[in-house]
Amino acid sequence: MSQITPRPGRIQRAPEGFLSPEQIREVSAGRRDFLRTAFASASMAVAGTSVARAADGDPAILTLPEHSTTLGRPVAERPYGAPSQFEAGLRRRESPGLTRVAGSSVSFSPLQGLFGIITPSGLHFERHHQGWHDIDPARHRLMINGLVKEARVYTMDDLMRLPSVSRIHFIECGANTGMEWGNVAVPTVQYSHGMLSCSEFTGVPLSVLLDDCGIDRKRAKFVLAEGADGSSMTRTISLDRALDDVLVAWGQNGEMLRPENGYPLRLVVPGVQGVSWVKWLRRIEVGDQPWATKDEAVHYIDLMPDGTHRQYTSIQECKSVITTPSGGQTLLDKGFHNITGLAWSGRGKVKRVDVSADGGRNWRTARLETPVLSKALTRFNIDWVWDGSPAILQSRAIDETGYVQPTYAQLRAVRGTRSIYHNNAIQSWKLADSGDVSNVQVF
């Protein structure tokens, strides 16, 4: 157990992500001097007490600010709310140089700046193979055809009058952390793990629609989901899964999906890699064998150490990452720090998360914050007192099947180093005695 010291350690959170080490050092050095002067007089005045900031000398508490003496802005000035101007650093970001065209690219969620388990819709990561569209829902249709008694075409109105459910699930691109297979490639958790988001999705279970069309129970084994964008995004899903927890969803976090996330309709395939969550969903075909389309025969296959490719590895295995402190941040003080992060498993609930501060030699079990939901992000927290010496911070998740998140050595022993997809290895953040946190790999 750690003692909570009265003045929690402060963190330079560097939400910009791509600060150079020099810039980070500049910022944190400046900030430290500032903190030192700000607190010097205060701590003398209250010597012997546990108060961190004395009122004495702090203009932020002594002077009545303008906002306490003037009329505020009118209600509904912004009919659709937006974040504070002071949160402008919290942005989805493209990784410079990762892709050549922005229409076929990725933006990463700023995990380092998020709380809890729900990703604000405006910060949900994006992955488009052929750009995004804002499709008129009045003109959008979903067709179900193939091995069904009656092929049907649904309008959005048809779908939205059906009995719907709302469920919280994570979506993770299969290529998340893909740049880290061979060596450390990116500086921050936004770029190493930010193709990950979690929302409450609302829609109709795909099983309801398949029932409505009457699937040929004898021959039907698979379904194919197809998107309405120009990428010909088509993915095979086994019928078992399609009838289990897959949703045809229009809602995301209480409102309609955002255009970037598939408005007006997307598939939600809990636990499965993002590519199967077909956006702008326009067709479900029922068939008797996998289609082996381009996005499952050429892309989204795992290159194995022996040179062969593994197909149809869809589940996102148990994984976790510490989001604070994480790469690019700087601890400005010794003493108490809350270590926080996210854990998830495509196979069900997270059972336990352990945290190490010494590169995996010793582990302590973190607190899992409720709710702990199946195939959803789970938030963990653990108290920690930094004594100022270098440390390697790691988290290791275990899911309800008993599967333990692997080390890089364990993962590479099976998968090699030249893969792209399904890297769920334990992430290490190195904390230097300067307080700077950086991305390292520990074997």
Ligand X SMILES: Nc1nc2c(c(=O)[nH]1)N[C@H]1C(S)=C(S)[C@@H](COP(=O)(O)O)O[C@H]1N2
Residues lying near ligand X in the complex (CB under 6 A) are found at 124-129, 171, 173, 227, 229, 231, 233, 260-261, 274-275, 277-280
253 interacts with, out of ligand X, Mo ion, none, CB within 5 to 8 A per kind: none
Identify the residue among 111, 156, 275, 373 touching Mo ion (CB under 5 A): 275
Smallest gap from residue 98 Cβ to ligand X (A) = 14
Residue 152 to residues 237, 272, 354, Cα–Cα distance (Å): 19, 26, 49
From the list ligand X, Mo ion, none, which binds 280 (C-beta under 5 to 8 Å, kind-based)?
A: ligand X
Q: Using DSSP, state whether 283 is helix, strand or coil.
A: strand
Distances 200 to 168, 248, 327, 375 between C-alpha atoms, Å: 4, 13, 28, 12
Residue 173 binds Mo ion (CB under 5 A) = yes
Residue holding tokens 């389309």?
Answer: 293
**Contact call for residues 92 and 112 (beta carbons, < 8 A):** no
> Using CA atoms, how far apart are residues 59 and 64, in angstroms rounded to an integer?
9
CA 209/CA 90 separation, integer angstroms: 39
278 binds, among ligand X, Mo ion, none (CB under 5 to 8 A by kind): ligand X
Q: C-beta of 287: minimal distance to Mo ion in Å? A: 23
- Rounded to a whole number of angstroms, the minimum distance from the CB of residue 235 to ligand X is 8
For the bound state, the minimum distance from the C-beta of residue 289 to Mo ion, rounded and expressed in Å, comes to: 24
The strand ranges marked E within 188-316 are 196-205, 222-227, 234-238, 247-252, 255-256, 266-268, 281-287, 302-303, 309-310
Per-position DSSP letters for 141-183, written without gaps between them? EEEEEESBSS-EEEEHHHHHTS--EEEEEEEE-TTTTGGGSSS
229 touches, from Mo ion, ligand X, none (C-beta below 5 to 8 Å by class): ligand X
Closest residue to ligand X, judged by C-beta, is 227
Q: Which is nearer to ligand X, 277 or 429 (CB)?
A: 277
Q: Which does 261 bind (CB under 5 to 8 A by kind): ligand X, Mo ion, none?
A: ligand X
Q: Between residues 279 and 396, which has the closer beta carbon with respect to ligand X?
A: 279
Task: Give the nearest distance from C-beta 48 to ligand X in angstroms.
Answer: 53
Where b means 16+ CB within 10 Å and e means fewer, 350-384 reads bbebbbbbebbeeeeebebeeebbbbbbbbbbbbb
Instruction: Indicate whether 278 belongs to the interface with Mo ion (CB under 5 A).
Output: no
Considering the complex, state which of residue 202 and residue 273 has its C-beta at the smaller distance from Mo ion.
273
Smallest separation (angstroms) from Mo ion to the CB of 296? 12
Quick one: DSSP state of residue 404?
Answer: B
CB nearer to ligand X: give 197 or 394. Answer: 197
- Of 170 and 181, nearer to ligand X (C-beta) is 170
- List, in sequence order, every residue forming a beta bridge with 368; answer none if it has no partner: 380
How many residues in the shown chain lie near Mo ion by CB under 5 A? 4
The rounded distance, in Å, linking the Cα atoms of 337 and 386 is 7
Sign, CA torsion 162/168/169/171: positive
Rounded alpha-carbon distances, angstroms, from residue 301 to 137, 248, 269, 304 = 33, 25, 18, 9
Q: Which is nearer to ligand X, 17 or 227 (CB)?
A: 227
CA-nearest of 83, 86, 84 to 13 is: 86
Token look-up 């929302």 returns 199
Q: Which does 252 bind (CB under 5 to 8 A by kind): Mo ion, ligand X, none?
A: none
* Cβ 384 vs Cβ 335: under 8 Å: no
Task: Pick between residue 15 and residue 274 the one whose CB is nearest to ligand X.
Answer: 274
With CB under 5 to 8 Å by kind, the binding choice for 421 among ligand X, Mo ion, none is none
State the minimum distance, in angstroms, from the CB of residue 125 to Mo ion.
9
We find the least distance from the C-beta atom of residue 127 to Mo ion, in angstroms, to be: 5
Helix and strand element counts for the chain (H, E) = 8, 25
- Alpha-carbon Rg of the chain, whole angstroms? 24
274, 287, 335, 435: residue in contact with Mo ion (rule CB under 5 A)? 274
231 vs 405 by CB, closer to ligand X: 231
Residue 108 near which of Mo ion, ligand X, none (CB within 5-8 Å, type-dependent): none
User: Which residues between 117 and 136 bind Mo ion (CB under 5 A)?
Assistant: 127
191 binds, among Mo ion, ligand X, none (CB under 5 to 8 A by kind): none
- Write down the least CB distance from residue 91 to Mo ion, Å: 20
Would you say 108 or 380 has its CB closer to Mo ion? 108
Decide whether 188 or 261 has the Cβ nearer to ligand X: 261
272 contributes a contact to Mo ion by CB under 5 A: no
Would you say 369 and 380 are in contact if contact means Cβ atoms under 8 Å apart?
A: yes
Q: How many CA atoms lie within 13 A of 125 on its CB side?
A: 29
Q: What are the residues binding Mo ion (CB under 5 A)?
A: 127, 173, 274-275
